[in-house]
Structure 1
C-alpha cells in the first residue's frame, strides 16, 4: 500500500494581488492619516510595513522631494513594491527590531503594528527613530470584538483543528484602547493626537468580508493548517460570516471597520 502524502506545512506568504482587491477601502484610512500630518517638507520618510507600496506611493505624491525608504518583512510584498516604485528604496526587516540608517522626519506605519506584540516597548522603539521635531504617524485596525474577527476564533474552537490553532485562540489582543496609547505617548511627548474612526464600507462581491479578511486577519488561522483543513476552515468561517453580514437589497454588503490613529511629535 502506498503511503498517503504528508500534509503541506508550507506557509502562504502575503499575496499582493489579494490584498489589493479592496485597494480603495484600504487606502482611505492611510490618506486620512497623511492629510493630518503636520509636516511641510520632511527630508526623510520611513514607511514601516510598506507592503506592496500602495501607501508608499501616496506618501511620495504628498512629498515628492523627500527621500523615501519602505520596509517590510514579506519578500512577496517587497517584490511587488519594487516593481511598482522602482525609484524608491525598499528593505526587508522586522519592525520590532529594525532601525533606519539615520533618524527620520516621519515614521509612517499603516495597518501594521496590530501584528506585533508588546506595544508598551514597541512604540518607544519607533518613537526613538525620529529626529527632534519628527512625527510618528500610526494607523491600526481595532476590530477584535467584531464578527469578522470573533468568528475566526469560534471557527477555530469548533473544528478538528482546535489544537493546531491554540496559539491563535489564546493570543491576547495586541491593539489596546485609545486611553492606553494616550498614557503611553504622554510619557514621551506632550504633542500627541489620538482618535478612532469607524468606516462603514459598502463592499461588492459574494461574501466579500471573507475576501477582505482572507488577505489579512484570517492568514494566521490558515497558516498552521494543511490544504484540506484550510478549505474546510474557510467554508465554516464563510458560512458564519454570511450570516453575520447578509447582503443588502442591491447585493452589496455593509462592513463596519474600526481604526485607531496616532500622531505624535518628538520634542525639538
Structure 2
C-alpha cells in the first residue's frame, strides 16, 4: 500500500522535479494530457492551470493514491501504467517518478512513441539514486543474516533505470526529438530521522511489505544509526540529502 500522507510529507521537494520536467514540454494547446503515476494528485491539479482547455487523464496503480487524487477533484483511475494505451487525441504523456517501478519500461517508451500522434510529447522523470548511500545502506542491512531470508528477493541491489544518454538514444531511434539531462538536488532535511522518513514512503516500501509489524520496527531501529552515519546531521540541525534524477522530454516526429 502507498501512503499518500507519507508521500506528501516532502511535497515541495518531490514536486520540484515535476515542474522542472514540464518546463521543457513545448505543447501549446494539447487536447489530452495523461499523467501516468499521478500519485495523490497534488501535481496533476496544476496541469489544468497550464492547459485549461485540455482533457486531463490521470492513472495510478495505488487505490489509496487514486482516492487521494479524487479528493482533490482529479478524475483519476486505478490502472497499470504498463498496460496503458494512449487515446488518439493524446498530445502529452507525463510520467513523474513512476517508470522505475514498471518492468521493461524502455520498451514501453518505444511503444508510446509509435502509438502517439505526430508532434505529441513524452515527458518522464525517474530517480537515479539507486547507488546512493541510502540505497546501499538498506541493501547491506537486508543482506545481513538476520534479514537475508526474509528479504532474499529485495530488488534494490541494481538500478532499474538507464542514464540520460541511453534514454536519448532509445527515443531518437524511435523517431523522436529528444531533450535528456540529469540533476542532483541537494535537499535540506530537518527533524528526527529525516532520511529514513524520506525513503520510508518510497524506496523502503518493498522491504516493509515483506516484514511483519514487529520485524519492520526492528529493521527500522537497526537502519536509523546506519543512515545517520551516511548522512550526518549538521550542527545547525540540517541534513543534506543529495538526490539524483534523470529527465527525458521527447517530441514524436
TM-score bucket of the superposed structures, by smaller chain: over 0.9
- 1:49 pairs with 2:37: yes
List structure 1 runs of 4+ shifted beyond 6 angstroms. none
* Contact 2:95–2:124, Cα closer than 8 Å, also in 1: yes
Q: Show CA shifts across 1:220-259 (max 9, x none).
A: 1111111111111111122110111111121011000000
| Aligned residue number for residue 70 of structure 2 | 82
| Aligned residue number for residue 215 of structure 2 | 229
1:216 to 190, 202, 221: 202
Alignment coverage as a number of residue pairs: 253
| Aligned residue number for residue 32 of structure 1 | 20
| Aligned residue number for residue 81 of structure 2 | 95
Structure 2-normalised TM-score? 0.95
Q: What are the ranges of 5 or more consecutive residues in structure 2 without an aligned counterpart?
A: none
| Aligned residue number for residue 192 of structure 1 | 178
| Aligned residue number for residue 178 of structure 1 | 164
> Structure 2 vs 1, CA of residues 129 and 21 (structure 1 numbering), >3 Å: closer, same or farther?
farther
> Structure 2 vs 1, CA of residues 194 and 238 (structure 1 numbering), >3 Å: closer, same or farther?
same
What's the offset of the Cα at 1:111? 0.4
Q: What are the ranges of 5 or more consecutive residues in structure 1 without an aligned counterpart?
A: 1-12
Residue 258 of structure 1 aligns to a residue whose secondary structure is: strand
| RMSD over equivalenced CA pairs, Å | 1.5
Structure 1-normalised TM-score? 0.90
> Matches of 1:73 and 1:53 in 2, distance apart?
13
What's the offset of the Cα at 1:179? 2.1
Q: Where in structure 2 are the equivalents of 1:1-268 lying within 5 Å?
A: 13-85=1-73, 88-169=74-155, 172-267=158-253
